[in-house]
Structure formats: structure tokens, C-alpha cells
Amino acid sequence: MILPRGIRNRILLAALLPAVTIAAVLGSYFAHTRIEDLNAALRDRGQAVAEQLAAAAEYGVFIRYRQLLNGLAEAALKDPDVIRIRIYDSNRTLLAEAQRTPPPEDDSQLLLFRADIHASDISIGDFGAEEDAGQNLQTKPIGQVEISLSNAATEARQLQALLTSLLITLSVILASILFALKISRSVAQPIVDLTRVVEALGTGDLRARAEARSTGELGTLEQGINAMAAELENVHAELQEQVEQATADLRETLEAVEIQNVELDLARKRALQASRDKTEFLASMSHEIRTPMNGLLGFVDLLLRTPLNEEQRDYTTTIRKSATNLLVIVNDILDLSKIESGKLSLEVAPFDLREALEDSVDLMAPVAHQKGLELVLLIYGDVPLQLYGDSNRIRQVLLNLVGNAIKFTSSGSVVVRVMLEDDADCPSDHTSLRISITDTGIGMTDEQQSRLFQAFSQADASLTRRFGGTGLGLFISRRLIEQMGGSIGVESQPAEGSTFWFTLKCPLQAEGELPDDEIRAPRRARILLFDTHPLARLAVRHPLEAWGLEVIEIEDKVRLQEAAARVADGRLDIDLILIGLSSQTSDDPQIAELLALFKPDGRPLLLLINSVERERLKKVVELGADACLPKPPRRESLRSTLWQLLGWAEPGSGGFVERRRTPRPEMPDLRGAHILLADDNEINRRLITLQLKSLGVQVDSAVDGTEALRLANHRRYDLILLDVHMPGMNGDEICRRLREGDGPNRRTPIIALTANIFSGDNERLRGSGIDEVLIKPVSEYRLWEVIRRWTHRHAGPPPEKAGRHQEVIATLREGLRRELPEQRLALVQAYQKRDWDLLQAEAHKLRGSAAYCQLALLEKAAASLEETSHAGNPAAVEAAFHLAMQAIDELLEEARSQEPGARS
């Protein structure tokens, strides 16, 4: 337990805690006792009324005089708590009944009391006393009375008793608080005054005195403090008289202050260095976090390119999906800091919309299946699929919204719809899309919806504790959608589900086409489609009809049995049966029952079930199905399976390969363009030259800044590519001179190339006249896009295809190995001279070469050496230098081992 600070707070606690505890206990006890007494009184009164009425009804029951009994029952209703009276004879025959009008709606709120009606001891008979009959009347009841009492009045009195007890308890607590405040003020105030006097004395006000107004120990303390203050004042006066001693003391004090200033300056430098180290650490954290994940994804991609059987490929694809999802989660955390600092950037690249949607739905399907939900992806036929945009960010938003829908839905379905949005402001080469996620979950009130899309905010704190979540997902999604030029919102009603939606404006690819135009069936086959969920059935019907197949839909099991009978006797001609099952109808006996309807006929039968487990899919096939796919099926998986079951050849390939492609952009037609490339790294120049020549570009290259400036002053270029760090003259200095001069390239677009941007470098480069900055290594598509945009060229067929990528990389690595001894010597000389600027420049050069040659270890070592050299920390530079030397020596040793005649 943490005690409150301050003497006043402690006195308050000591005074209040017992009083509040006693008041609460006594109030609870009295309230409980009163409530129990009221309940007992109600039970006793109800039983007493029943027994009195039983005695009064003896004669009426005995002679079965219903009018008398009804009068007794009506008279009993005068009691306001009596709701209903029933009088029965010994055979439980109802003789009389009376109840209030209108009758109570809920009998469970009434208290029922019964009393037996006994005959009196007087024997009645025409032929004298009959002892046996009299004894029988005494022992066996002749009827029974039932009385139903309402406890509403009792509950009202109980509530009044509870409120009275609560009021008394609160009054006692309030009185205790007032008393405790008064006690604490009377005890603590003198101590507070003494504390202020001591603080004043400590600050040098020796005239401060405590007011002597207390008695006992506090009065003694006040007198002692005043005496101490007087003594200090006398001592101070004596010190003033000793001038020489005071001067000497002052000189010593100044010397001590000077020493402290030196120590503070050293401490400030250490703090600044620690701040730089922290900044560098935080800057490298995202790289360090992403590096193992990117490595995992890269090796999985390499594994997918190797020969794998179907099961291995499925497992590997699942690993890649999970790794991608984990990377997205890590990126969400880093995205928040980027959003708050305004540094979140989007990538514009070609992508396939269906692939992005299907990948996202595939990731969330196991979670939906586990909860027994129907997950449906519905893409309307007029939606274009080949687009430009940031597909990873779109996946991020979609995964968040679909995940939330599944999380807050316990039964029913989650439907993802993609349709065109009516937007008059959308350019002709763009498309406006609306993607909505509809669930049948718990829904939200208007007040809960108002708290959505805010950082660290949830619609309902109780739901957060139940379902989990940090409140960042929707906030990041909103910022991403807004940055992509779209909007996001929600429509919801409590207990009726929710619909989250967002809109996007994406540029169209020139080669984009509608999905219905991709593939047509070799002939018009008839498909019998059964699924009880209408939207799931619609999502399957769309692609079937787009491929030119005739679809016969069946929505219930009764009609399915009728269709099976028609197929069996030849009245219905079909080529394939496609059955979609929900989680409630996918157990083995029901599957076997469905298969038994059609399997004897011999037609191919394809089942869609809510499971992605391979063993489950195999089990369905073992039960008799020809094929089984998870719901919702990927479009190409469904098409390939249908083609296989119908015996049709795959178009353009001998077998099905699941689509995992990213559309390659069409290269721009840059024939005739003239570009100046300036880079002091031979490998960088060679790679970019190869990439540009494949586009028909004429390239002039310069090895340093002086040569680049000379070429730019004598020839007109369409574009200039400048490395930022070059010997002799940097890229920003070259750009500044070109912009200030009157040469032919004064207004030519200039693109800067660099392997790293330190804080403020981007703004500095743009201020010198550079139009855009590219971070090495520059992807081939990024280079195409920048040149096309700044030279105002259009896409078109290239004059010739570039060489194989691996051959180019091998050539670049060979050139780097030839240059490594010279670069190693330059690094050693710069390190021995402690010339950190030169060491940084050489490390930057090596980093760029390693990046283009895809030598990750060397690139990382060179980057670390460049960053530590920039910071100027000798210990960190030494460690980074040795790592770089180790990486270089390993590459040189590898090169020597591959030479002819080398020992194996």
C-alpha cells in the first residue's frame, strides 16, 4: 500500500479510514436487517391472510356455495398487496377465483401462499354422530386456498430503507470528513508554517521567524527555530566583519564553480552524444526489426521458385502469409511514429487489386472459420483490377477492417464488397473504388461511432477488455486512406451489425482489363450451384458466368434433393455439381449424405467448405468428393479446379500455378533521350548505364564532380543524374553552379542519388536546386518512373529487352571484387589519420557499391561505418571499422578461392 505524502494527508487518512469503515459496515448491516425484516413480514402476512381466508371459506367449500366463496375472494382483494385468490376443493377443482384487473403480466414477480381448508370438529349428519366421519374431517382437508401477493410495495419499502441507510451513512462520512479536515488543519498548519520558515532560512532570509502560537511540543519547536534563526543572523553579521576571510572563501568558491563548469560542459557533451546515440539507435530499430522479417520473406520467395510438391508449396505459402502479416503488425507500430512526425510516405507501383483482396481475405479466413462465420469476397464485374497504388497499405487497411469485423461478430457473416464509386471529379485515366466490409456483429451506437478513428481510443472500454485492441488500427487506417486521397467511414446500429467502408482513387494501368475478359470456357457447360448463403452463392456465380458457364442455382436442401432426382432420371442435364457448405453443415455425416445424392451418377462434384486445413480438405475428398477448396475460393484456384474436373486443358500452361504475380509495368519509350550520369563508383555507373541503355537512352558518364560540370556546360541533356557525394565537387554544389550559370542545362531536371539521407539533407539538397532525391539502391521501375515523369515521355515498347538480372549482378560483383583492395586501402588510410569525414565518404562509396551488388553483409557493415563516422565517436568508429574490414576480407578470400588453380 502506498501511503499519501504530507502530514496533513496522513492525518486525514488516519481520521477518515476508521470512521468511513464503521459507517459503511453499520449502514450495510442496518439496510440488510431492514430488508430481511420486510421480507419476513410480507411472508408472515401472506400466510396469515391465507389461513384466515381458509377458515372463512370452510362452510362455502363444504356445501360448494360458489357465490359465498366468490364474495370472500372479492373481499380479500381489498388488501392492496393481494393480486389473485383461488379456492379449490379437495379434488383441486377450482370453486372460486378473483384477481385484480388487469392481471399481472409476469407471475414470476408474485409470491404464492397456500392454506388447507379443514372441516370443524362438529359432526353433521341426519342419523346422529358418526365418529369415523368426524375423525376423517379432522385429518383430511376439504379444500385449499391459494393467494398470490405482489412484493411491489415491499420492494418500495426496502428501497426506501436502503436509501435511508445510504443517506445516514453518507451523512456520517461527510461529518467525519469535516471533522478530519478541522483536526488536520489545526495540527498540520503550525507544521506547515514552520516548514516555510525553514525554507526561507535556507534561501538566506535570516530575518524569518515563526509565529509563537502553539503549545506543547510544537511551541517548543517554534521557539527553537526562532533561536536558531537569531543565532544564524548573529553569525552572518560576524562573517561580514571578516572581509579578508570572506574574500578568500569567495576565491575558493569561484575556483570550485569553474571546476564544476568544466564538469558540466563534459556532462553536456556526454548527454549530447547519448542523445545522438539514442537517435541513431531509434533510427536503426526499424531496419533491425524489418531485416529478419525481410530475410525470411526473401528466402521464402526463393524457396517458392524451387521445385515443390503441392503440399510443400501450400505450407511455404502459408509461412509467407504469416510472415507478411507479422511484418504488417510491426510496421503498424512504426507507422504511428511516422504519422505523428509527418514522415509517412506511400509507394506508387503497379498491382493487381484482386490479388491484394484475395491475399487479405485468405489471411483472415482461418479466424472466420474458427468462429463459424461465412466470409465472402464479392468483386463486381465492372471493377478494373490492374491499377497503380500502394498495395501494401491497401492490404493493411483491409486486414484491419476485416479483422475487426470478425472480432466483433459471433455468428453470421462478414462480406467484403468492391464496386465502382460514382465520382464526377475522377479523371478518365483513374478509377474510383468503394470497398465495404459488412458484418452481422454487435453494432455500435452513435456515441460509440464518434470515438472511432482516433489514436488510443476505442468505441467501448468494456468491449476492449473483452476483445482486446490498442485503438491504433482504425486511426492508422484513416490516415492512410486520407493520404491516398480517399475517405473512410462507418454505418452501424446496435445489435444489427456494422458496415465499414473506404474509397480510393487509383490510376489505371494501360494494359489493365476486366476479369471477365481474361479466360473463356472451351464450351458452354452447365453447373449446378448449391449454397444456402445467398451472397456466398452470388460470389461464386459471378466468375462462373464470366467464364461463359451456365449456372443453375439452388438455395435450399429440399430443392437440392429434387434436383438430384431429376439428374438421376435424366430430366436435368448438368456437367458438374458445385456445393458450398457452411460451418454448421460441414460435418462428415452431412457431407456423406450430400455426396450420396449425386455420386452414383458419376458427374464431377466440387465442394467448398469453411476450412483451410489441408487434412480437412483431404478428408472431404476421401468421403467421395472429386475436389475440395476452402471458402471463399480464390478465383484462379476455382477456375483451375473446374477446368481439371471437366477435362479441359489449362490455357497457356500444362498445369495450374496459383497466381502470385505483380504486374510488370510497361517500359517507357525513351529512345533519343540524352542523360548525364555522374557517380564516382564504377559499379553504380555500370548498373545505371545498363538500365538506361535498355530503354534506348544515350548516356554520358562522369567519374567526379569536375568532369560532370564540364560536360553539363558544353552539352544539352534531357535529365541529369548526380551522386551526392563525389570527390572534388559534391552533387549539390554542381547543381547550384548549373542553376546560377547561363549554360544549356540551367533548367534541366536534376535527380540526386544517395545511399543515405541524414536529418535535414533532403531539404538542403532541394534548396540547392535538385528536383528529386532517390535513395540507393534504386529499383528498375523507380528509375523508369522518374525518368518518364521528368522527361514527359509516355509508355511504349522498349527497343530491346535488358539482359538477365542475375548476369548483371554477377558482372557488378566481379567489378567490385577488383576494386575492393583499393577501397580497403583507402579506408585503412583514412582510419589511421583519424579523418572521419574522409572515412565517411569512403564508407558511403563502398555502401552504394555493395547495395547495387546485393551484398547485404558488406552493405550493412559499410552503412554502420558511415553512420559512426558521421557521429564522430572513436569507440563506435573502431568497432564499425573492424566489422567492415572483416566483411571485405571475407569477400576477397572468397574471390581468391574461386580463381583457377586455387586449392579446394
pLDDT band at 695 (very low <50, low <70, confident <90, very high): confident
The reported pLDDT for the residue numbered 420 is 92
Question: Is 317 within the bounds of a domain?
Answer: no
pLDDT of residue 294: 53
Helices (H) and strands (E) in the chain, counts: 27, 21
Check whether 464 has a pLDDT greater than 70. Answer: no
Q: How far is CA 341 from the centre of its chain?
A: 20
Last residue of a domain, one of 127, 158, 189: 158
**Residue 515 banded pLDDT, cuts 50, 70, 90:** very low
Determine the pLDDT at residue 282. Answer: 45
782 and 833 co-located in one domain: no
Under the banding of pLDDT at 50, 70 and 90, the label for residue 279 is very low
Model-level pTM greater than 0.85?
A: no
Burial of 468 (0-12, 13-18, 19+ CB in 10 A): exposed
Smallest Cα–Cα separation from 873: which of 276, 329, 181, 52?
A: 276
What's the pLDDT score for residue 133?
A: 45
Nearest to 76 by CA among 37, 104, 43, 45: 45
Given the DSSP bridges, would you call strands 526-531 and 82-89 parallel, antiparallel or unpaired?
unpaired
| 530 part of a folded domain | yes
How sure is the predictor about 28, in pLDDT bands with cuts at 50, 70 and 90?
confident
256-271 average pLDDT score: 85
Stretch 101-123: mean pLDDT: 72
Side by side, the strands of the sheet bearing 627-630 are 550-554, 526-531, 576-580, 605-609, 627-630
CA atoms within 13 A on the CB side of 203: 7
Amino acid letter for position 602: G
Q: Mention every residue, 6+ apart, whose C-beta is less than 8 A from residue 205.
A: none
Q: How far is CA 708 from the centre of its chain?
A: 49
pLDDT of 710 above 50 = yes
Model confidence at 290, in pLDDT bands (50, 70, 90)? low
pLDDT band at 131 (very low <50, low <70, confident <90, very high): very low
**Count of the separate structural domains present in the chain:** 5
411 & 432 share domain: yes
Please provide the average confidence, as pLDDT, over all residues in the chain.
Answer: 78
In a domain? residue 426:
yes
**Quick one: 11 and 141 in the same domain?**
yes
Mean pLDDT of 201-215: 73
Given this model, what pLDDT does residue 271 score? 78
Reported as half-sphere exposure (CB side, CA atoms, 13 A), residue 365 has a value of 24
Q: Please say if the pLDDT value at position 379 is more than 50.
A: yes
Q: What is the CATH number of the domain that holds 138?
A: 3.30.450
Q: What are phi and psi of 502, to 5 degrees?
A: -150, 150
Q: What is the pLDDT of residue 780?
A: 65
Q: Is residue 463 part of a domain?
A: yes
Question: 786 and 708, same structural domain?
Answer: yes
Same domain for 534 and 422: no
Mean predicted confidence (pLDDT) in 686-691? 76
Q: pLDDT tens digits, residue range 380-426?
A: 988 998 899 888 889 889 988 998 899 889 889 999 999 998 877 78
CA dist list (Å): 551 to 29, 76, 144, 542? 74, 74, 71, 10
Least confident of 103-112, 160-169, 722-731, 822-831: 103-112
Query: Can you tell me the mean pLDDT for 859-876?
Result: 81
Do 798 and 811 sit in the same domain of this protein? Answer: no
The stretch 819-833 carries a mean pLDDT of 85
In order, the DSSP letters of 789-815 are HHHT--B---SSPPPPHHHHHHHHHHH
The pLDDT score that the predictor gives to residue 107 is 65
- Residue 583 phi/psi, 5° resolution? -65, -30
- 113 lies in a domain? yes
Grid coordinates representing 211 are 509565529
Query: Would you say residue 243 has pLDDT above 80?
Result: no
**853 in the same domain as 736:** no
Highest mean pLDDT: which of 54-58, 278-282, 800-804?
54-58
Cα–Cα distance for residue pair 642/752, rounded to 1 Å:
52
In a domain, 666, yes or no: no
State the average pLDDT over residues 544-552.
92
> Grid coordinates in use for 621?
475428398
How confident is the model at residue 539, as a pLDDT? 93
Provide the pLDDT for residue 815: 74
pLDDT confidence of residue 122: 54
288 or 182, greater pLDDT: 182
CA angle 634, 637, 639 (to 5 degrees): 110
Higher pLDDT residue, 584 or 46? 46
Q: Does residue 345 register a pLDDT over 80?
A: no
Q: Are residues 453 and 573 in the same domain?
A: no
The pLDDT value recorded for residue 433 is: 93
Closest by CA to 851, choosing from 651, 679, 619, is 679
Burial label for 368, CB within 10 Å (0-12, 13-18, 19+), is buried
> Pick the residue with more confidence: 301 or 609?
609
In this predicted structure, what is the pLDDT of residue 862?
85
User: Where do runs of H (alpha helix) occur along 694-804?
Assistant: 705-712, 731-740, 761-767, 780-791
More confident residue, 353 or 595: 353
Question: In one letter, which amino acid is 481?
Answer: I
Same domain, 769 and 881: no
Give the mean pLDDT of 689-704.
Answer: 81
pLDDT class of 78 with cuts at 50, 70, 90: confident
Helix (H) or strand (E) holding 560: helix 557-568
pLDDT tens track for 475-488: 888 888 988 889 99
**pLDDT tens string 611-645:** 888 788 888 888 888 899 999 999 988 999 999 99
Element (H, E) at 313: helix 310-341
Residue 860 and residue 721 share a domain: no
Neighbour count for residue 504 (Cβ, 10 Å): 22
Q: What average pLDDT does this structure show over 40-52? A: 84
Please give the single-letter amino acid code of residue 45: R
Boundaries of domain holding 811 = 807-897
Pair 799, 811 in one domain: no
pLDDT tens readout for residues 489-503: 999 888 888 999 999
* Average pLDDT score over residue span 736-764: 75
Q: Does residue 383 contact residue 420 with C-beta atoms inside 8 Å? A: yes
302: burial class by Cβ within 10 Å (0-12, 13-18, 19+)?
exposed
Cell numbers for 524: 458452354
C-alpha cell of residue 426: 475522377
Domain boundary among 467, 484, 507: 507
Q: Which residue has the higher pLDDT, 461 or 219?
A: 219
Residue range 149-168: mean pLDDT, rounded: 83
What proportion of the chain, given as a percentage, has pLDDT over 70?
78
pLDDT the model gives residue 804: 44
Looking at 125, 158, 191, the residue that finishes a domain is: 158
List pLDDT tens digits, range 563-585.
888 888 888 889 999 999 887 66
* Integer Cα distance of 264 and 267 in angstroms: 5
Asked if residue 780 belongs to a domain, the reply is yes
Residue 312 within a domain? no
Find how far residue 752's CA is from the centre of its chain. 37
**777 shares its domain with 641:** no
Residue for grid cell 557499391: 849
Most confident residue range from 133-147, 450-464, 701-715: 701-715
